[in-house]
Homo-oligomer: A and B are copies of this chain.
């Protein structure tokens, strides 16, 4: 931000610029916009950050974000607890929920195995998945990681751990374009990928 701007405004723009996909010019525009907000709106915005950050943690069952012990999906008795859909992150849960077709549960890994980036299997929530399966009636685990190198590797790694337990492990159908990003897939493509899943 140009030196002509007062320091608090420069600092605010720098905060916005830390967010993913927000460049310095956009950050400056957002900072200027905050200046035009009412005092109450600015306070609400500020509070929502702290509030979300302090009240939200991982669901002790599926590891998705929640503000209680167990998330809304895990505690919903109408969901089919015999099926677990394993995803990379919370945004993928939202994507599946938007299809309104999947009725099972989820497991959020919070990452994908990527030795190049130092992400070993221990660094993502695989052991929580195994512990959960040991104490449950799970019949099928759907590997719903992205169709990328890391996503495929993670799916293969987990399926090799689960198969000896006699659990059916499936993979999303490749209706998803290879190299694409799950979060941006349209609902129909995502539903097709779910419907045509294959055992691995």
Contact = CB atoms under 8 A, between A and B. Distances in A.
**What is the count of identical protomers in the complex?**
2
B52 A11 contact: yes
A73 interface: yes
Contact of A15 (B21, B32, B48): B48
A135 interface: no
Contact of A49 (B19, B46, B55): B46
A21 B26 contact: yes
Contact of A51 (B11, B72, B73): B11
Contacts of A165: none
Interface residues of A, number: 63
Given A11-B52, A15-B49, 19 more contacts: A2-B93, A3-B97, A4-B93, A6-B66, A6-B71, A8-B48, A8-B52, A8-B67, A11-B51, A15-B48, A20-B33, A32-B65, A32-B90, A34-B52, A35-B56, A43-B53, A46-B50, A46-B53, A49-B49
Contacts of A192: none
A34 B55 CA distance: 12
A110 to B, nearest CB: 9
Interface in A128-163: none
A83 B5 CA distance: 20
Majority-rule SS of A interface residues: helix
A90 B29 CA distance: 10
A93 B98 CA distance: 44
Contact of A46 (B33, B47, B184): B47
B12 A91 contact: no
A71 to B, nearest CB: 7
